[in-house]
Amino acid sequence: MASNRIAIINEEIQKELSALLRTVKDPRLQDVMISITRVETTPDLRYTKVYVSVLQEQKAGEVMAGLKSAAGFLRRQLGSNLGLRYSPEIVWSLDDSILYGAKMLKLINSLEVNRDDETDPR
């Protein structure tokens, strides 16, 4: 029962933070594609770990600094919008799984397949 409640809260936090990120005025977060990939909240709702992916790899450091700077504003807005008893402290973590997947896809597409070496199982 409790894990289901945490899963629902995680989804709501993810949706709300995605919407709130568009309202942040920090120039480090402008003109950058930021995607929230996963949210994990502790059972006591005191902390939430937010995994973000940044499409422009070279700007990841300044985006993380901008997110840490805006964490207080986002926490306050999150608490008032969700109506939770406690507003969880936001811990940002960079998720590079999208970049890793794109790199692997590029490597797979770059392989040359020699049709003569393939054996026909018939």
Could you tell me the residue ranges of all domains in the chain?
2-109
7 has pLDDT over 80: yes
Q: What is the β-pairing status of strands 47-54 and 34-41? A: antiparallel
The pLDDT, as a whole number, for residue 31 is 87
Does 72 have pLDDT greater than 70? yes
The amino acid present at 11, given as its one-letter code, is E
CATH 3.40.50.720 fits 2-109, yes or no: no
Kindly state the average pLDDT of the residues 87-107: 88
Look at residue 113 and tell me whether its pLDDT is greater than 80.
no
Residue range 44-66: mean pLDDT, rounded: 91
Alpha helices in 22-122 (DSSP H): 60-69, 71-82, 97-110
